[in-house]
Amino acid sequence: MKITGVELRRVGLPLVAPFETSFGSQTDRDILLLRVVTTDGEGWGECVAMSAPVYSPEYVDGAADVLRRFLVPALAAAGPVEAPQVAQVLAPYHGHPMAKAALEMAVLDAELRASGMSFGSYLGAVVPSVPAGVSVGIMRSIDELLAAVEGYVAEGYVRIKLKIKPGWDLEPVRAVRERFGDDLLLQVDANTAYRIGDARHLAQLDPFDLVLMEQPLPEDDVRGHAVLAGLIKTPVCLDESITSARSAADAIALGACAIVNIKPGRVGGYLEARRVHDVCLANGIPAWCGGMLETGIGRAANVALAGLPGFTLPGDTSASSRYYARDITTPFVLDKGHVAVPTGPGLGVDLDQEFLAEITTATEWIRFS
């Protein structure tokens, strides 16, 4: 398969409701999509970088710049390559895992579409559908939070994740647990908002029987997470700290986590995400697939990844309607608390070309010689 060019496409999509975490609030997404065109067809990738470098050092303008100036030209200079070789081609350029993941994803989608194989089959999915959890942002009041959770429970989501931060933690969790009972799978996500000195405070969440506490401390404080794990009963899950299969192995060996959240964009692509999964599976560490408010393009790949055997906890693989009134692909829907793994070639979803054109804000074509 020979690549003839890459299109960088920016689109803007409003969220159905503001989504607030410990690092800020989002009302819409400025999304960078990649379209890889080959002699055998095309493939799509989605960059999950946010508009500002608040979740990670990457941001969407920076991702577009590094793709335009370095990553796409490196791929062009390499000649015909297969998806498993993309990471090696891009390795001389340090960092930028979200940009690299989007490019690898588009190449892989093109290859799989041409061969007639689905993402799920290629990655090793073993189930036809995956249990869907939902992430609930920080709200203006407890009443607003309870109403939101009630709606998601009524829709059939099998797990609720509450975003927390200092000043919004004990009372929201207590309110949700008291309202919906002990049978509700409930977990929290701090997005690095606390420090090891907050251990005594975080231990007050133990009585609420949480599935896990996600990334309470800064991403570079792996040792602190190991210390915290020995001070609280709630299982510690790492998100931002897991940037590769190697970092996952190190964190597990240090006792810094009992559970791992795997986000392909954060680790540099779906092939590295599969390697992280393999590390977790080999060490008996439960894993689940995190989300970054993806459109149907990224959601299709995430759902396929979540079908692997080591993903034993519900992920943030919610329905399209959780975030968008209209998606750019065939929408993902909730069916008895599950989302189906696409079975068509490549990502297995059809793009809504009319809507995509309507929300496109810019395009750039990079031709290969």
Give catalytic residues, as residue numbers: 163, 263
Q: What is the DSSP string of 244-256?
A: SHHHHHHHHHTT-
The residue assigned the tokens 């690549």 is 3
CA 12 – CA 361 distance, rounded (Å): 7
Other Cβ atoms closer than 10 A to 77: 10
Q: Which helix (H) or strand (E) holds 101?
A: helix 97-115
Would you list the DSSP string of 266-297?
A: HHTSHHHHHHHHHHHHHTT--EEE---S--HH
Burial class (CB in 10 A: 0-12, 13-18, 19+), 147: exposed
CB atoms within 10 A of CB 7: 17
> CB under 8 Å to 247, separation ≥6 — which residues?
241
Asked whether the beta carbons of 242 and 267 are under 8 A apart, the reply is yes
Q: Which of 266, 278, 320, 260 is nearest to 132 (CA)?
A: 320
The C-alpha torsion from 135 through 292 and 290 to 99, rounded to 10°, is -170
- How far is 366 from 215, CA to CA, in rounded Å? 38
Side-chain half-sphere of 122: how many Cα atoms within 13 Å? 24
Residue 353, both tokens? 């070309």
The span from the CA of 36 to the CA of 33, in Å, is: 10
Torsion, CA 254, CA 198, CA 291, CA 134, rounded to 10: 120
Nearest to 287 by CA among 266, 267, 265, 258: 258
